[in-house]
Amino acid sequence: MKMSFFDDLKVLFSKEGQKNIKEYNEREKEEMMKAQQEILERRRDPRKMRAYEDATDKRRKELAEERAVYKFQQKQQAGYDPLTDWKKLKDEGKIKIGKDLPRDEGSRRLGSEGLIEVRVDERMPYIDQGYVDEDADAMGKFMGLFTKKKSEK
């Protein structure tokens, strides 16, 4: 049996649906209250605050180290190709792309493997090279129809 959009609305506005919504809202409220209580408790106890700050500093340091791997993308030397460093780092396992990255299980559906929680384009070798396709300027081409070319003078 296949349910339609209207059947979903019927379930949503039924007594059972209203009960489920109420339970969901209560759970959300309890989770928020618990998180708030943890914050207040951490503020009162210097040891808990220190542990929290240490964990935060550790996480930030790990992110900074991970980000430092990609410094090669910003090199602007004549004849330098970032692809060579990118391939080397990928072979060493320092750069992960595609199948190597963890995926969000909650977004897996209809044959999709799920979403990746990082921007993959930032991990590619040529992101900071500044390539611009001159043929991609549609507005410039359109406006060019209304201007005289230098050779027509």
Considering 8-22, 42-56, 91-105, 115-129, the range whose residues carry the highest mean pLDDT is 42-56
Number of neighbouring beta carbons within 10 Å of residue 123: 19
| Residue keyed to tokens 């209580």 | 37
pLDDT in tens, 47-80: 999 999 999 999 999 999 988 998 888 888 888 8
pLDDT in tens, 118-149: 888 888 888 877 666 777 777 877 777 787 76
| The CA-based dihedral angle spanning residues 67, 97, 84, 70, taken in that order and rounded to the nearest 10 degrees | -10
Helix (H) or strand (E) run with residue 39 in it: helix 15-44
Quote the CA–CA distance of 95 and 2 in Å, as a whole number.
Answer: 45
Helix (H) or strand (E) run with residue 11 in it: helix 5-13
pTM: 0.55
Given a contact cutoff of 8 angstroms between Cβ atoms, the answer to whether 48 and 41 are in contact is yes
3-class DSSP assignment, residue 103: strand
